A and B are shown apart, each in its own frame.
Chain A
Amino acid sequence: MNTFVQNLIDGLGNGSTYALLAVGVSMLFGVMHLVNFAHGELLTVSAYVIYGLRSKDVSWWITVPMAILGAVALSVAIEFTAFRRVRTASAFTLLLTSFALEILSHAVWRIGVSSKPRRYATPEIAFKTFDLGPYRVEVWDVISIVVAVLCFVGTAIMLRKTLFGLSIRAASEDFDAARLMGVKANRVISGAFAFAGLLAGIAGALYLLRRGQADPRMGAEPLLKAVIAAIIGGLGSLKGAVVGGLALGVAEVYFRSFLPNDLQGLTDAFVFVLIAALFVVRPQGLFNVQTAERV
């Protein structure tokens, strides 16, 4: 029982990073029919912002907002310089564009900074624990879960109550019909990229404070997990992305804790087998989504 609860907290802490990324991936898929493989690069830029500012001894209170801002800025810049040019192209072109951006980002960091990881000292709070009855809980896990929940609630309110949120939902269902109502395509798409960037920046901050290093290819793995989480939930479904991300985080921690030591390295493989099994039963993911129309 002890390990069960312990793992659940660890897993939700991990999973909240995936879920925050996955919501962004799913939102962009909804409005643009784009699986954005460059989305993970937003973590990378946040990491280098942290490394850059911390190496000049800038306070964490300034560093973290700057890291988040960096992710938002890159997300908007990617849309403006790349995806806007190919918006009416096929889904395949969009996918290739996102791969190109991912590779370009790796190259920029490798040439501009170094191909070796750059380390920064993590703040004390990142690994602090406290005892809650029989459980030893990491403070950062609790913070991650709380911040993620606030983000999900904030996203839900934004989607229900604001005109921007309604535009995103409408555009995800039928983009041309939304344009006929006066929704500006550029505004809703760059807004969606900014919002997805914000969530990625927050996910980045939660993940990077414990990670302690920046390296050029670091965005790839969390992004892969986020894409899988979004697919588990049903691409385009934001609720699904949250559930998928948390489930994936929890599944990873459970496999890691139950697998014998020799098989620890295969955690991902076991998780992926489980996911493959899920898709046999529900190929459309956990939640059904109306087919989105592309611009």
Chain B
Amino acid sequence: MLAVDEVTTKYGALTALHAVSLHVNEGELVALVGPNGAGKTTLLSTVVGLLRPTGGTVRFDGRTINGLDPAALVAAGLALVPERRRIFKDLSVAENLRLAGVTAKAPDRKQRMEQMAELFPALHEKWDLSAGFLSGGQAQQLAVARALMCDPKLLLLDEPCLGLAPTMVDVIFDLLQRLRSQGRTVLVVEQQAQRVLGIADRGYVLRTGTVVAEGAGPELASRADLFETYVGGS
């Protein structure tokens, strides 16, 4: 479904990704792990069109998408839950979701909002509250719900557990497994490497802009060498 082929992305003179290749098949939950500064966020930003790769191609559903506008990628079926959530704090919870359905037709948008109300009862209680007043966990749920409003074929999540209390981390992991059992295709970047690899179909370990290991999720999780050297354990 998603094929990243030899992608190189630079920030000015700094090369953040060196010819990185990875792919995500339909229905898979794929985890991308690695230490800070490895280029995980850069990779996701490149996939969704916020950054332009200087080399290589990004293909989605067989179509080359590098250099396309993020709005066009949403229409194509890609949605990102960005790092640090970036929900719209001045908008109410319902307004955040409504805006995220901007590419959908009005009846679809309404139907998806009802689905989100069911899927996230905690949010439904705060429907008309400014999103700035949500707790960290609720805000993260809103960020995921907002991305699901785009009804993506592939959902990308960038560190969904960052800054959350342990109980909320459990909620997010439950959510990931639920999305997977619904047949959604998910690519997730996560600091808690071994835990996320434990539930992932496949995983990639990224280090200083290069893929250093890949394989089945649980198998990678059990490779002590990777986590002592590269990720620092969990």
A binding-site residues for B, Cβ under 8 Å:
163, 166-167, 169-170, 172-174, 176-185, 290
**Interface residue tally of chain B, by bracket?**
20 to 34
Nearest-CB residue, chain B, relative to A174: B86
Residues of chain A with a CB closer than 8 A to B71's CB: 179, 182-185
User: Is B79 close to A, CB under 8 A?
Assistant: yes
Contacts A182-B75, A184-B71 given; does A166 touch B98 at CB 8 Å: yes
Assess the B89–A173 pair: CB atoms within 8 A. yes
Q: How far is the CB of B226 from chain A (nearest CB, A)?
A: 31
22 residue pairs from A and B, CB less than 8 Å apart: A163-B98, A166-B91, A166-B98, A167-B102, A169-B91, A170-B91, A170-B96, A173-B90, A176-B82, A176-B86, A178-B88, A178-B99, A179-B69, A179-B71, A181-B100, A181-B102, A181-B150, A182-B70, A182-B103, A182-B150, A183-B102, A185-B69
B binding-site residues for A, Cβ under 8 Å:
48, 50, 69-71, 74-75, 79-80, 82, 86-91, 95-96, 98-100, 102-103, 146, 149-150
Assess the B95–A166 pair: CB atoms within 8 A. yes
Contacts A176-B50, A177-B82 given; does A290 touch B89 at CB 8 Å: yes
Residues of chain B with a CB closer than 8 A to A179's CB: 50, 69-71
Q: How far is the CA of A194 from the CA of B95 in the complex (A)?
A: 23
Residues of chain B with a CB closer than 8 A to A290's CB: 89-90
Q: A170-B99, A178-B88 are in contact. List 7 more A-B contacts (CB 8 A).
A: A169-B90, A173-B90, A174-B86, A180-B70, A181-B99, A181-B150, A182-B74
Q: How far is the CB of A165 from chain B (nearest CB, A)?
A: 10
Q: How far is the CA of A173 from the CA of B96 in the complex (A)?
A: 12
Residues of chain B with a CB closer than 8 A to A176's CB: 50, 70, 82, 86
Residues of chain A with a CB closer than 8 A to B80's CB: 180
